[in-house]
Amino acid sequence: MSLDPARLIPMANAIRALSMDAVQKAQSGHPGMPMGMADVATVLWSNYLKYDASAPSWPDRDRFVLSAGHGSMLIYSLLHLSGFAHPTMEEIENFRQIGSPTAGHPENFLLPGVECTTGPLGQGLAMAVGMAMAERHLNSQFGDDLVDHRTWVIAGDGCLMEGVNHEAIGLAGHLKLSRLVVFWDDNRITIDGSTDLSTSENVRARFEATGWFVNSCDGHDYADIARAIDEAQAQDRPTLIACRTMIGRGAPNKQGTAATHGSPLGAAEVEAARKELNWQAAPFEIPDQVREEWRSAGSRGYEARTDWSTRLGDSEHKAEFERRMAGDLPEGFDLKEFVGDLVREPQKVASRKASENALAVINSRLPETVGGSADLTGSNNTKTEGLETFTADDASGRYVYYGIREFGMASAMNGMALHGGVIPYGGTFLVFSDYCRPAIRLSALQQARVVYVMTHDSIGLGEDGPTHQPIEHLQSLRAIPNLLVMRPADAVETAECWEIALQQKKRPSVLALSRQGLEQFRTEEAEENQCAHGAYRVKEAQAERRVILIATGSEVQLALACAEALEGRDIGADVVSMPCAELFDEQSPAYRDRILPNVGPEEILRVSIEAGTSFGWERYTMLNGLRIGIDGFGTSAPAPDAFEHFGFTSEAIVPKILAKLEA
Amino acid sequence: MSLDPARLIPMANAIRALSMDAVQKAQSGHPGMPMGMADVATVLWSNYLKYDASAPSWPDRDRFVLSAGHGSMLIYSLLHLSGFAHPTMEEIENFRQIGSPTAGHPENFLLPGVECTTGPLGQGLAMAVGMAMAERHLNSQFGDDLVDHRTWVIAGDGCLMEGVNHEAIGLAGHLKLSRLVVFWDDNRITIDGSTDLSTSENVRARFEATGWFVNSCDGHDYADIARAIDEAQAQDRPTLIACRTMIGRGAPNKQGTAATHGSPLGAAEVEAARKELNWQAAPFEIPDQVREEWRSAGSRGYEARTDWSTRLGDSEHKAEFERRMAGDLPEGFDLKEFVGDLVREPQKVASRKASENALAVINSRLPETVGGSADLTGSNNTKTEGLETFTADDASGRYVYYGIREFGMASAMNGMALHGGVIPYGGTFLVFSDYCRPAIRLSALQQARVVYVMTHDSIGLGEDGPTHQPIEHLQSLRAIPNLLVMRPADAVETAECWEIALQQKKRPSVLALSRQGLEQFRTEEAEENQCAHGAYRVKEAQAERRVILIATGSEVQLALACAEALEGRDIGADVVSMPCAELFDEQSPAYRDRILPNVGPEEILRVSIEAGTSFGWERYTMLNGLRIGIDGFGTSAPAPDAFEHFGFTSEAIVPKILAKLEA
C-alpha cells in the first residue's frame, strides 16, 4: 500500500490524538511514547504487519509486541482504528478505568490482538524471542503453508537497559531468529531525564556484538522507515532498527522532554498539539476518511488469511495443527499406564530423576513439548533420549540450550506458550527461581502454560551451601496467584504432578524436585491422580489419632518415620502428603475437613514438615500447631549432615511433638 | 616482585593441588576453575593486589572478588597460602563440611578476606562495581592518603551471560570506574559443554560498546598476564582482561572439558595431575619453599599498611573515617526531634513523601548515605535537596542515577555496603523488587545494611494496573530470612522505620511506601520508637474487646475506620499497626501476648487488613480469624475504585467481621 505522507500523516495523527485525549481524560498515562512512535507504527500496521482485524486469533498472523507497555494507548489506538472488535471508542474513553479492557498496561487476557502482557520492562522483547522461536519450530514441523510469519517489537530505552535484554538478544542472535524485528524508540529520554544521566552505551555496537543486524531510520520519515523494514526482512538474523524519534511528537511545547513520558499533557498543551498536528476532530472522534484508511489497512490480510484457511483445509496436518494451536492434549492422554508400571516396580530415585523418567514418556507422546535448561541440563534432568537440539540451522529440535540465562529462558517460554502450538518446559535450580521470578509472575498473570522444572529444592542439595539452598522459595512462589507449586514426594507423585502441569491450559506450574534419592511409598494402585487433590492421606493413624503430620516432597518419608515412632508410643498419627497447596485450597470444604479436621491442637496436633521457611505454614498447622522448618539460611555440608543440623530427623522431631502433646 | 616462572609455577601449582585434593576429599566441588585460573591469580596476588594477610580488614586494601564463586577453592587456597589466619589447613581439609568456614561457595560472613558472598552468578562482578564506586566516593571525601585502592574480579562465562552483567557493566562504563579490573576466565566451557552450544556473542565487542577498555592475555603466561594488568592500570575506564585459559589445567586427561567443572577429578586423574604438574607433595602438604614464597607475597603490603596507619593517625579525618568504616552512626543520632515536629504538626502525605521528608533530615546529618533510584527518582522521592549527582567526573556526589537497572542497582548497593564507609539506599516500585530479588537475598545473607525504598506498594498506585500492583511481594519479602520489611502507616511511622533501618548494622531493610496520601494518626508524643516493637496498639477497644484489627501501611487508616464502625455497634475493637512483622516476632512472648492474646476467635476475633495476598497472615489472625487481602492480580483503575473493587472499605469489611462474630 501507499507510503504517501498525505495518507499516512492523518493516520498517525489519529493515534496521537487518541493517545493524548485518552490520557488527558483519564488524568493518568503515558502520551509520549505513542505520539513519538505513531509514524513507525503506522507504516508497520498499514504496509507490513500480516494480520486481519476481523480474525485476531488467526494462527499465522504476525505477532506484534509492544514491549514498552506503558505506551499502551499506541496499541489500543492501532487495534481500534484498524477495526478490531475491541477496544471500542467507549472503551478507549474509559482508558485506565475499572472494568475496561484498556488497562494502564496492555493485558493479553483482556484484549485479542494484545499478544502478551507488557509493562514490566524488557520482558516484551524477551517474550518476542520465544514467539519467534515457536514460529520457526512450528514451521519446521508444519511447513511454510501453515506457519510463515514474523514477530515485530517496539521497545524503549528501558527495555534495552534491563538485564533481561542481554539474555534475550544473546539467545536470539545465537539462534539467528531472522523473523524477529525490533524497533527501538531511540528518543534519548527516560523518566529521570536524558539517557545521558545513566548510560553511555553504544546500543548498536552491543546488538552487533551479539549477532544482530542493526539498521536505523528517521522515525518520522515514512519512506525511510519502510526502507529500514525492507532491509530487515532480507536478513538471515534478527534486526534492530534504531528509530530516531521525538518523544511526545506533536505537543509543541513539551515534545522531546521527559514531561511527556508519564503524565497527561494538560488541556492547554493538548489544544496546542491539535493545532500543531492540524487535527480538527473533537476528542474521540475520527474523521471518516482516516477511519476508512485504517479499516483498509486492517483488512489488508483478509485474503492471505482466507488463502491460508484453504491451505489448512487441504492439509494432511489439519487436525494435528488445530489441536496443537488450541492447546489441547491428544485425546485420552494421561500417564496412568506409566504410573501403573511404577506402582508395580517401585523405584528409589531422586524426584529430578523421576521427572526425567516421566518426561521420557511425555516427550514421546506429546510432540508439542519443547524442553531446555539454563545450563544445568545434566542436573535438571530435562533432556530425554532422542530430543534433538534447537539450533540456528535447524529449528526442529525440541531441546534448547538456553545458556546461563534463567530470566531469558523463562521469558522465551512465556512467548512460546503465548504463541501457541508448543508446551515449553525449562530447568534451573529452585534457588534461582529468583533470577526469573519476574517472568514467573508474568506466566501466572498471562495465564500461560509454562512448566518450570526446578531441581535441588532444599538443603538436601548439600555441599553447595546457603547460596544454592532454597529456604524462602517454595513459600514465596506459593504466594504468587494463579501458579501451581508442586513438590512431589516420590516417583509416582512426580508423574502425577507432571500430568497435572500439562493439563493446566491457563496456569503455569513449578515442579520442585529433589537432588537426593526418595523412597517410593506410593505402591498401591489408585483410581485417580492423588496429587490432583493437592493433599491426601498417605498413612492413616493406627492408634487413636492425636497427630496429623503434613509434609511435602523429600520430607514425606521423614513424616512417615516420625509417624512410625509415634505409633510405637501408641500415639496415632496420620501422614498427609501435600504436593500442591494451591490445589488443596481449591478442594471442597468437606474434603479439606476430612484431611485436616478443623479442631484445635488439644484434640489433634497438626505438624508441618518442610525443609524451608516455616513462614505461612500456620495456614495448615494452625497457629498453635507445630512447624518444622528452617527460618535462617542454609549450610554447606553433605545432605545428611545438613538435615541433621537443622533437626530434620525423626529423633529430633518426635520429642518436639511429644512435648507439644504434653503441654 | 619476580615473575620468574621458576618461582610462580610452584606457587600456582600449590593452588591446583589444594583445589583438586580438597574437592577429591569432599567428593564434591569445582576443581576446573581454580586449576584454570591459578596462574592469573598467582600473578595478581603475588605482584599486584594490595593487601596484608595479617590485617584482612585494612580499609585501604584492594578488594578481590571471586565472582565465579563455585571456584571457591581458588580463594581458600589464596587466603591460606598467603598467610591469612583462616582457612587453616584443617579447614581446607574440611572443605564443604559442616561447621567449616570453607563452604561450597565463599561466604563473607565466614572468612575475612572474602569480600562478598558469591555463587549466584553475575552478582560478584556487579557487587564489585559498587565497591569501586564506594572507593572513588570515599576518595573524594577523604583523599588519596586514606582511600586509594582497586577492585579486582575473576568472572566466568556464567557471570558474563547473566542479565545482571549488562546492567553492571553499563553502570561501570558510564561512571568510568577505572579502578575496576575484571579477569574473564575465557575457557569456552560451561556446565552443559562448549559455550558454542548457547552463545555466539563477541564478548569483547560488547564490553567495548559499554565503554570498557578490553585487553587479553594468555592466562597461563605470567609475563603476558602482568603486561595485561599493567595496561589495565593505566586506563581511565574499567578494564576487562580476557584470559585464555584451559579449564582444569594440569589434569592431563580431563583438562579443557566440562568434566572438570563441577565434579571431583577422581583418584586416578588426581594422581596423573600430580605427575603432570610435577607436584610431589602429599595431599594438603605444601613444600616449605612454596609456602615461604606465598607468605612473602602475603606480607608484601605490610609496609604500605603501616604507612597508611601513620597517615591515618596524622589525619584530621581520623575519627570520622574510623566511624564511617566501622559503620557506626554519629553519637546520639536519632530522629526524635523530627518526629516531635511531626507530632506537633501532623501531615497528610503519601509515605513516599514522608520518606523524602525524613531523608532530608537524614541526608543532612549522615554524610555516609548514598542514594539513588532505578530511573524513578521523582516517583520514589529518593533525591533530597542539595544531593549532588555521582558522575564519571565527580564521584563526590551522593546521588546515583542508576538507570533502568534494578538488579544492577541492588548489587551495587550490596558492594557499597560491604566495602564500608557508606550506607546505600535506592528506590524502585515494590513490584519490581522481583527484578532485584536475587540481590535482596544476598543483602540478607551477607548481612549488608542496604535500604530498599520501594514505593507504589499496593493497588493504591491505581491506574498502572496488574503489572505494577504488588500482590505477593510483601509476604514474599517477609519470607526472606534476616530482612526487615517495613510498611509504615503515616509520616511518624515512616520516620521511625527509617531510624530502624539505619540502625541495622547487619541487616538490610525494605521500606514499602504508598503513592497515595495517608492521614497521620500518630499525634501524641511517644517516649520510644513505637515501630521498633514491630507491632503496637494504636487504638484501644472502648466497648468490651471482641475484635483486634491488625493492619499495615495504608490500611491502618481503614482499620481505624472499621473500628469506629464496630464501636458504634458496641463491639470493642483494638487496632494494631504492624509496620514490621519480623520485629514483632522478635519481641518477648509477654509483649506479643499483650498485643495479640493467644485466645480463640470465640473470645477475640483477629482480623488482618493488608492490600496484598492473605497468604501467611494466619500467623497473626489464627486459622479461624479473618483475613482481608487480595488473592488474585490487581486491576487498572483509579485508586479509590481499585480499593472499592477489592473490598477495601469499611462498608465491605465490617459486615464480614459481624458475620464472623455471629458464626
CB < 8 Å from A in window 427-446 of B: 431-432, 434-435, 437-438, 441-442, 444-445
Nearest-CA residue of chain B relative to A378?
Answer: B192
pLDDT per residue as tens digits for the range A183-213: 999 999 988 899 999 999 999 999 999 999 9
A107 to chain B, any CB pair closer than 8 A? The answer is yes
**How many alpha carbons lie under 13 Å from residue B76 in its C-beta half-sphere?**
39
With cut-offs at 50, 70 and 90, classify the pLDDT of residue B2.
Answer: confident
Q: How many Cα neighbours within 13 Å face the side chain of B506? A: 5
Which of B526, B528, B562 has its CA nearest to residue B546?
B562
| Residue of chain A minimizing CA distance to B192 | A375
Helices (H) and strands (E) in chain B, counts: 26, 20
pLDDT at position A43 is 98
Q: Which CA distances in Å does B126 have to A492, B65, B414?
A: 42, 10, 9
User: What angle in degrees, to the nearest 10, is found between the helix axes of A437-445 and A406-419?
Assistant: 20
DSSP label of A95: T
Specify the DSSP element, H or E, that contains B645.
helix B639-645
CA distance B202 to A205: 10
* Integer Cα distance of B408 and B400 in angstroms: 12
**Rounded Cα distance, B417 and B421, in Å:** 8
A292 vs A547: CA distance, rounded Å: 72
Nearest to A509 by CA among A433, A605, A618: A433
Please judge whether A403 and B623 are an interchain contact, meaning their C-beta atoms are less than 8 angstroms apart: no
B575 pLDDT exceeds 70? yes
pLDDT mean over A336-360: 97
The answer to whether B105 contacts A163, with C-beta atoms less than 8 Å apart, is no
In the 8-state DSSP scheme, what is residue A561? H
Q: Is B117 on the interface with A (CB under 8 A)?
A: yes
Chain A residues with CB inside 8 Å of B119's CB?
464-465, 467-468
A465 vs B105: CB contact, 8 Å cut-off?
A: yes
Single-letter amino acid code for the residue at B486 = M
- Which of B237, B476, B596, B598 best tests the A interface by mutation, with the highest count of A CBs <10 A? B476
DSSP B31: -
Q: Is the pLDDT of residue A2 over 90?
A: no
The set of residues, in sequence order, having a beta carbon less than 8 Å from that of A79 and lying 6+ positions away, is A53, A86, A87, A111, A113, A114
Tell me the C-alpha distance between B630 and B639, whole Å. Answer: 14
Asked if residue B180 has pLDDT above 70, the reply is yes
CB-based contacts of B460, cutoff 8 Å, min separation 6: B514, B515, B516, B554, B611, B639, B642, B643
- Give the cell for residue A72: 499502551
Nearest to A466 by CA among A310, A646, A225: A646
Quick one: which of A344, A380, A384, A349 has its CA closest to A364?
A384
Average pLDDT in chain B: 97
% of residues, chain A, pLDDT over 70: 100
Residue B190: pLDDT band (50, 70, 90) is confident
CB spacing of A481 vs B464 below 8 angstroms? no
pLDDT score at B338:
97
Q: What is the DSSP letter of A439?
A: H
| Confidence band of A620 (pLDDT split at 50, 70, 90) | very high
- Contacts of range A300-305, beta carbons closer than 8 Å, 24 or more positions apart: A300/A1, A300/A46, A300/A51, A300/A52, A301/A50, A301/A51, A301/A52, A301/A58, A301/A61, A302/A52, A302/A54, A304/A50, A304/A52, A305/A52, A305/A55, A305/A58, A305/A60, A305/A61
Grid cell of B582 as nine digits: 519480623
pLDDT tops 90 at residue B663: no
> Average model confidence (pLDDT) for chain A?
97
Which residues 325-384 of chain B have a CB within 8 Å of chain A? 373, 375-379
Distance in Å, alpha carbon of B421 to nearest chain A alpha carbon: 24
Listed by number, the residues of chain B in 44-73 with a beta carbon closer than 8 Å to a beta carbon of chain A are 69
Tens digit of each residue's pLDDT (9 = 90 or more) over B455-501: 999 999 999 999 999 999 999 999 999 999 999 999 999 999 999 99
CB contact under 8 A, B202 and A209: yes
Place A384 in a pLDDT band, splitting at 50, 70 and 90. Answer: very high
Cα Dmax for chain A? 90
Q: What are phi and psi of A455, to 5 degrees?
A: -95, 180
Check if B589 contacts A (Cβ < 8 Å): no
Distance from CA of B543 to the nearest CA of A (A): 27
Size of interface A-B (CB pairs under 8 A): 353
Instruction: Using the CB atoms, write b or e for A178-199: b if 16+ within 10 Å.
Output: bbbbbbbbbbbbbbbbebebbb
Q: Is A406 a catalytic residue?
A: yes
Q: Tell me the mean pLDDT in the region A95-104.
A: 97
Which cell numbers in the block locate residue B479? 519470607
Q: Quick check: helix, strand or coil at residue B154? A: strand
Residue B160 has pLDDT above 70, yes or no: yes
Residue of chain B minimizing CA distance to A374: B192
The per-residue pLDDT for range A109-159, each reduced to its tens digit, is 999 999 999 999 999 999 999 999 999 999 999 999 999 999 999 999 999
B1 pLDDT more than 70: no
The alpha carbon of residue A192 is apart from the nearest alpha carbon of chain B, in Å, by: 5
User: How much is the ipTM here?
Assistant: 0.98
Distances (CA, A) of A279 to A81, A266, A268, A285, B168: 16, 17, 15, 11, 45
Judging contacts by C-beta atoms under 8 Å, the chain A residues touching residue B470 are none
| B580, B534 contact by CB (below 8 A) | yes
At how many degrees (to 10) do helices B351-365 and B491-503 cross?
A: 50
Distances from the Cα of B306 to the Cα of B51, B60, B292, angstroms: 11, 11, 22
- Chain B interface, mutation test: which of A94, A198, A477, A482, most B Cβ atoms within 10 Å? A198
Instruction: Give the model's pLDDT for residue A663.
Output: 83
* Distance of alpha carbon B248 from the chain centroid: 31
Q: A641 and B482: CB-CB below 8 Å? A: no
Per-residue pLDDT tens for B69-84? 999 999 999 999 999 9
Separation in Å, CA of A265 to nearest CA in chain B: 17
Confidence of residue B636 (pLDDT cuts 50, 70, 90): very high
Collapsing DSSP to helix, strand or coil, A396 comes out as coil
Amino acid at A344: R
Are residues B446 and B413 in contact, defined by beta-carbon separation less than 8 angstroms? no
CA distance A448 to B193: 31
Task: Pick the closest to residue B488 from B583, B563, B406 (CA basis).
Answer: B583
Tell whether B257 is within 8 A of chain A (Cβ): no
pLDDT in tens, B11-70: 999 999 999 999 999 999 999 999 999 999 999 999 999 999 999 999 999 999 999 999
Residue of B nearest to A71 (CA): B464
- Name the packing angle between helices B318-326 and B302-314 (round to 10°): 120
Over residues B290-311, mean pLDDT: 98
Q: Angle CA(A230)–CA(A236)–CA(A238) in degrees, nearest 5?
A: 75
For residues A419-443, give the mean pLDDT.
Answer: 98
Minimal CA–CA distance to B511: which of B493, B485, B481? B485
DSSP code per residue over B262-292 = SS---HHHHHHHHHHHT--SPTT---HHHHH
Cα gap B618→A622, rounded to integer Å: 7
For B309-327, the pLDDT digits (tens) are 999 999 999 999 999 999 9
What percent of chain A has a predicted confidence (pLDDT) above 90? 98
Provide CB contacts within 8 A for A53, sequence distance 6+: A79, A82, A83, A84, A113, A295, A298, A299
What's CA A461's distance to the chain center, in Å? 27
What amino acid occupies position A90?
A: E
Residue A516, pLDDT above cutoff 70: yes
Inter-chain contact B476–A471, Cβ cutoff 8 Å? no
pLDDT for res A1: 67
